[in-house]
Structure 1
Amino acid sequence: MVHVPMLSADPEAFYSELRAQLEALVGDERDAIANLANAAALIWHTAPELNWAGFYLRRRENELVLGPFQGKPACVRISVGKGVCGTAVARGASVLVEDVHAFPGHIACDGASRSELVVPIRHAGRVIGVLDLDSPRIGRFTEADRMGFEGLVRILEQTGLDSVW
């Protein structure tokens, strides 16, 4: 049974516990889809004020396709360079957006989303997907969140991502 950490006032402690929980969930499992599905569920049930948590996977050079997620149905395909997810892939870096309505080219899969954090996932030296987090609250995500979720993605990058690519 996986213990879901309680939100701590200390982001470093919260993300440390969250990393430990993800490592326990992943364990020796090498299937990328299973690990991404469990990661999405863990994040969804642990991080407050989210209305979407999941992954988009780079299935073609210039396109992301919806992967495992928690939340309302979502956009299925996103072009690299478009929206927050596509921008994170094009830049090869995390993108933290305080207010998505002020982000040029934002793709509104859920009209309730107001802020977003997208973290690229790498395998064999290239961006192969993203962790996408949406919140209905403007300014929900902080630099501590960015660093914390980047740490979670590093754990996933060390698992069986080659089972998909």
Structure 2
Amino acid sequence: MIKKEEKLQNMNQALKALIEPEGDWLANLANSSALLFEFMSDINWAGYYIWKQDQLVLGPFQGKTACVRIDEDKGVCGTAYSQRKIMLVDDVHEFPGHIACDPNSKSEIVLPIIVGGEVIAVLDIDSPKKSRFDELDHEYLKEFVDILIDETDFLPLMEKF
């Protein structure tokens, strides 16, 4: 059985190989969410919320249907957006203002995607297990987002800033 760290390393290598020849932001967000869903165990949702019209709006994802719009400072995603930091939540039901898009989700990690000094989106990953995410996930998912930023043309999303 592959160790968790090796699986996360393989996931990031696969991301780089998958999106390196393709710069389109929509294609890369779509494929990267599928990659997360394929490589990460015990998750029930992986995808993006894109900042537009003063809200986070649902973008490419894998999993059950989701909340379409999230306000700044609301829930884990809105908090990660406004605080510009990675949010790792062991029990979402104890998080003040948690938005329960899927009642089966118990833990969550959200990473802001910062391009040109602006948060243009967040990567949101949910799990039906409490305390699913740890510092190893934090480290490799931060690298995952860095690869995504380096290999993707986000300029069309930047026009509003």
TM-score relative to the length of structure 2: 0.94
2:75 to 83, 94, 99: 83
Q: Is structure 2 residue 59 aligned with structure 1 residue 72?
A: no
Corresponding residue to 1:155 among 115, 128, 147: 147
Unpaired runs of 5+ residues, structure 1, are 1-6
Task: Give 1:31 deviation, angstroms.
Answer: 0.7
CA distance in 1, matches of 2:4, 2:38: 18
**Alignment match, 1:132:** 124
Q: Distance in 1 between matches of 2:14 and 2:153?
A: 18
- The corresponding residue for 2:134 is 142
The offset of 1:10, in angstroms, is 4.5
Equivalent residue number for residue 13 of structure 2 = 20
CA offsets, 1:108-164, max 9 Å, x none? Answer: 000000000000001111111100000000000001101111110001111111133
Q: Please tell me the residue identity of whatever aligns with 1:9.
A: K
Return the alpha-carbon distance in structure 2 between the equivalents of residues 64 and 122 of structure 1.
14
1:3 aligns with none
1:122 aligns with 2:114: yes
CA contact (8 A) 1:121 1:131 kept: yes
Q: Give, in whole Å, the separation in 2 of the partners of 1:107 and 1:151.
A: 26
Aligned partner of 1:49 in structure 2 is 42
Query: In structure 1, what is the equivalent of residue 101 of structure 2?
Result: 109
Q: Is the contact made by 2:8 and 2:39 (CA closer than 8 Å) also made in structure 1?
A: no
Residues 123 and 162 of structure 1 are in contact (CA less than 8 Å); yes or no, is this contact kept in structure 2? no
1:8 aligns with 2:8: no
Letter in 2 for 1:150: K
Unmatched 5+ stretches in structure 2:
none
Which letter maps to 1:145? D
Identical aligned residues as a percent? 47
**Which residue does the alignment assign to 2:92?**
100
Given that 1:33 and 1:68 are in contact with CA atoms closer than 8 Å, whether structure 2 keeps it comes out as yes
| Partner Cα separation in structure 2 for residue 14 and residue 51 of structure 1 | 18
